[in-house]
Amino acid sequence: MNNLHNLHHQHPQSSQKIDILSKFIVNHYNKLRKESNNTNDPLVVGLSGAQGCGKTTIVKQIVQYLKSAKNLSVVNFSMDDFYLTYEDQCQLANQNPGNQLLEFRGAPGTHDVLLGRQILQELRDVQQKYSERLHERLRERDNVKSNNVSILIPFYDKSLRNGRGDRAPIEEWIRVSPPFDIILFDGWSLGFKHLPSSELQEAYDRASSSLKTLKSHSFSHIKIINEHLKRYEENWYPFLDIFIHVEAENINYVYQWRLEQEHSMKQRGKSGMSDEQVKDFVNKFMPAYELYLERLSKENFFSKGDKGIYGSHLKLVMNREREIIKEILI
């Protein structure tokens, strides 16, 4: 792990985050183009960040920059887009009575993992076919865009079902067409990896009383979440080429950040959760942070055993004010 910069003395603005992350993505995109033998595979970028860290804004600004400044075609979507339908989420909760981690969307197990895999595979396949036709039609001097195949990406509407949320009707899904230069996939728990049974038991047993959110759940319920996490690793992670982790210096900042978001919504005249409801909401996510964040923070996402792919994982550490204090290439 190489600490490139320690920036405690600076107060970087949002543009600095975009500059750093965009440069990281573009460098790897150019590297892929040199090594891909003209197959024009898309670069798939995984981006992880805790709730309230500004992840949505960061993604939006990165996409805008890559499109306007670098003339790249970018498709972006979130883990949230693959949440189970309301009906399936209710069924999951009923199948796991008493497991509060599966009562509501958020935790591993509450996503349609196979749908996510299908979309990632379709994007890759369509881009490959587009690239093949591009080379053929350039020789024929034909219009390459005449027979483009589009893909529908699901959209999850959190406002449906009185705030319980549901997958939007298919007519509201996002239609995208090739070329796909960059695929940007983000999520609060993207990159988390399950713990072997013995390690999971040890982590649970040694958890201090201060980790009340973990200890408030039975080990059997934690174990179910851990098992679900394997499916994400098997079905989603193999698609990722590079990884970005926007990390909070202290994970407890999430409580403050989510409170700020709710207060801001209320000031704009929108409905929001009470302070106590925000605390309860964040508590549902904390067990996963407590179990899996340490490994993601310390190891290269792509590491296998003791060997990692150095330079493929970038971490930005942010302070309470969401300012960058460290930039780390792993």
Kindly report, residue by residue over 134-164, the tens digit of the pLDDT: 766 655 555 545 456 899 999 999 888 887 8
| Half-sphere CA count of 267, side-chain side, radius 13 A | 6
Per-residue pLDDT at 12 exceeds 70: no
pLDDT of residue 311: 93
Per-residue pLDDT at 3 exceeds 50: no
- Collapsing DSSP to helix, strand or coil, 184 comes out as strand
What percent of the chain is predicted at pLDDT more than 90? Answer: 71
Q: Is there a contact between 247 and 317 (Cβ–Cβ < 8 Å)? A: yes
The 8-class DSSP code of residue 83 comes to B
Q: 10 Å Cβ neighbour count for 214?
A: 19
Q: How far apart are CA 184 and CA 299, in angstroms?
A: 21
Contact partners, residue 305, CB within 8 Å, separation at least 6:
none
**Residue 192 token pair:** 């988390």
| CA 17 from centroid of its chain's CA atoms | 17
Q: Report the chain's C-alpha Rg in angstroms.
A: 21
For 168-198, the pLDDT digits (tens) are 999 999 999 999 999 999 999 999 999 999 9
For 259-287, the pLDDT digits (tens) are 998 888 788 877 777 899 889 889 989 99
pLDDT of residue 268: 83
Give 184's strand partners.
Answer: 45, 76
Distance set, CA 268 to CA 254, 264, 265, 277 (Å): 21, 6, 5, 19
**Residue 183 token pair:** 């695929």
Per-residue pLDDT at 166 exceeds 90: yes
Q: 10 Å Cβ neighbour count for 97?
A: 8
> Which tops the pLDDT comparison, 213 or 166?
166
Residue 283, classified by CB atoms within 10 Å of its CB into exposed (0-12), middle (13-18) or buried (19+), is: middle
Q: 10 Å Cβ neighbour count for 203?
A: 18
pLDDT of residue 175: 97
Confidence of residue 211 (pLDDT cuts 50, 70, 90): low
Domains, the chain, ranges and CATH?
2-329 (3.40.50.300)
Residue 250, classified by CB atoms within 10 Å of its CB into exposed (0-12), middle (13-18) or buried (19+), is: exposed
Work out the average pLDDT over 84-104.
96
pLDDT of residue 230: 97
**Residue 268 token pair:** 């704009």
Work out the average pLDDT over 20-30.
97
pLDDT of residue 131: 85
Per-residue pLDDT at 5 exceeds 50: no
> Which tops the pLDDT comparison, 280 or 235?
235
- Collapsing DSSP to helix, strand or coil, 111 comes out as strand
- Collapsing DSSP to helix, strand or coil, 307 comes out as strand
pLDDT of residue 30: 94
Work out the average pLDDT over 301-308.
74
Q: Determine the Cα angle at 26 with ends 20 and 32, to 5°.
A: 140
Work out the average pLDDT over 77-97.
97
β-bridge pairing 2-6 and 324-329: antiparallel
Task: Please give the single-letter amino acid code of residue 233.
Answer: E
Per-residue pLDDT at 7 exceeds 50: no
**Residue 285 token pair:** 């996510």
* 151 backbone dihedrals φ, ψ, rounded to 5°: -125, 140
User: pTM value?
Assistant: 0.90
Can you point out the beta strands (E) in 162-292?
Answer: 166-167, 174-176, 182-187, 242-248
Per-residue pLDDT at 217 exceeds 70: yes
pLDDT of residue 209: 61
